[in-house]
Amino acid sequence: MTSTKVEFLVKMTCNSCVKDIENSLKDVKGIKNVDINLANGSVVIESILPILDLQKKLEATGKQVAIKGYDGTAAVSILEVGEKNVQGVVRFVQASPDTCIIDGTIDGLKPGKHNISIHECGDISKGCTSVGKVFNPENNTKKRIYGNIGIITAERNGHAEFRLEDNIVKLSECIGRSFVINMQDQKGTPVACGIIARSAGLFQNPKTVCACDGTTIWDEVSKPNSKSSL
């Protein structure tokens, strides 16, 4: 499997905090390398694990954690349109020219199988009805329709986590379009959708305070359903 690097901002105050983080990540299968910078409050993890799993490992130390950046071209889709109970975050990282990692966590789904896809338009002004058709460029010569990413399964509690390696999707062609999820047996009716927006690369996001209102990233993380903590 292809590994990716993710930079987390972790609220650390001393070397004891560093030790706590080292212990929480020690001997975890799927983690290839960890780089902790106490001065910057930065933890960079190279792994093949879902990003949420890594975040939970860090949060298990009792410290506040926020995702700060990714290695390579990266994007995120916040599922904020559709059925009101469905919420989630889907992250995209172009890990290599031929591999796009698609990593998601979605809650509020009906148990069972769901299709996930990339659609032509980043227009959610009319909900999920204005995102257009499944994205399929004219020059696509693959057997699969370009934007048909695959099928995921929601558990009995409506929760779904997934990490897919896709060798057809090129993230540069998908930024500004929409990510859509629909239940497999509902004839393609969207359950939720969100615009695919570019996100910060590794070490490209120095901001910890919002210039407009002075809100710190830790204030943001502590909000219910914060995008930094999903």
Percent of the chain with pLDDT over 70: 85
For domain 4-71+201-221, give its CATH number from 3.30.70.100, 3.40.50.300, 3.40.50.1100, 3.10.20.600.
Answer: 3.30.70.100
pLDDT at 220: 45
> Distance (Å, rounded) from C-alpha 177 to C-alpha 119?
6
Domain ranges of the chain: 4-71+201-221, 74-199
Instruction: Specify the CATH superfamily of domain 74-199.
Output: Superoxide dismutase, copper/zinc binding domain (2.60.40.200)
Q: What is the DSSP string of 77-127?
A: EEE-EESTT-EEEEEEEEEETTEEEEEEEEESPPSEEEEEEEES----EEE
CA pair distance 201, 155, nearest whole angstrom: 32
pLDDT of residue 73: 84
The 10s digit of each residue's pLDDT in 134-174 is 999 988 878 899 999 999 999 999 999 999 999 999 999 99
The list of the chain residues with pLDDT below 50 reads 207-230
Q: Taking all residues of the chain, what is their mean pLDDT, rounded to a whole number?
A: 86
